[in-house]
């Protein structure tokens, strides 16, 4: 179900299941992602909101004590210095619910991920034309 309308409804339903203060953070990270990837479609994959653009672009989710943001391991590595102070895993970062979301950082990470996807898409297109 990666259709834009269906995916949007599913993401809306995912967000609606949380308390208002968590909904606010989920909507904020969703808006930050959409700002940098307006052409991406929304879906639920792996049980969490996912933006799709030539495959999975990024995921985000609510957890007990944090908002999880899942770009890719390469993006986490690229922004490692700026992510100091947050819990990071191979392809994820955890933003504590008690803190403000670093939305400018999220936007820059998404922009980098969009460039990564576009470059891969162009390379694939060129390979097919040969």
SS3 of 85-129: the string is CCEEECCEEEEECCCCCCHHHHHHHHHHHHHHHHHHHHHHHHHHH
Q: Is 76 exposed, middle or buried (0-12, 13-18, 19+ CB in 10 A)?
A: buried
Domains of the chain: total: 1
Q: Are 39 and 80 in contact (CB under 8 A)?
A: no
N-term to C-term CA, the chain: 33
Q: 11: domain range? A: 4-129
81-118: pLDDT as tens digits = 999 999 999 999 999 999 999 999 999 999 999 999 98
Task: Please say if the pLDDT value at position 42 is more than 50.
Answer: yes
From 53, 28, 31, select the one nearest 43 (Cα to Cα). 53
pLDDT digits (tens, 9 = 90+) for 45-81: 999 999 999 999 999 999 999 999 999 999 999 999 9
pLDDT at 5: 54
| Mean pLDDT over each residue of the chain, to the nearest integer | 91
Q: For residue 8, what is the domain's CATH number?
A: 3.90.1150.200
Per the DSSP assignment, residues forming a β-bridge with 52 are 41, 56
Confidence band (pLDDT; 50, 70, 90) for 7? Answer: confident
pLDDT band at 4 (very low <50, low <70, confident <90, very high): very low
């Amino acid at each position: 179900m990666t259709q834009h309308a269906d995916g949007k409804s599913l993401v809306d339903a995912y967000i609606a299941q949380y308390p208002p203060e968590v909904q606010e953070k989920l909507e904020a990270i969703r808006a930050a992602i959409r700002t940098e990837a307006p052409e991406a479609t929304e879906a639920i994959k792996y049980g969490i909101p996912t933006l799709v653009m030539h495959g999975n672009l990024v995921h985000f989710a609510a957890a007990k004590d944090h908002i999880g943001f899942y770009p890719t391991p390469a993006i986490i590595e690229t922004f490692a210095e700026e992510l100091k102070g947050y819990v990071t895993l191979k392809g994820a970062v955890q933003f504590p619910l008690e803190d403000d979301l670093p939305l400018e950082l999220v936007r820059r990470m998404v922009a980098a991920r969009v460039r990564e996807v576009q470059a891969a898409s162009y390379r694939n297109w060129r390979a097919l034309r040969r």
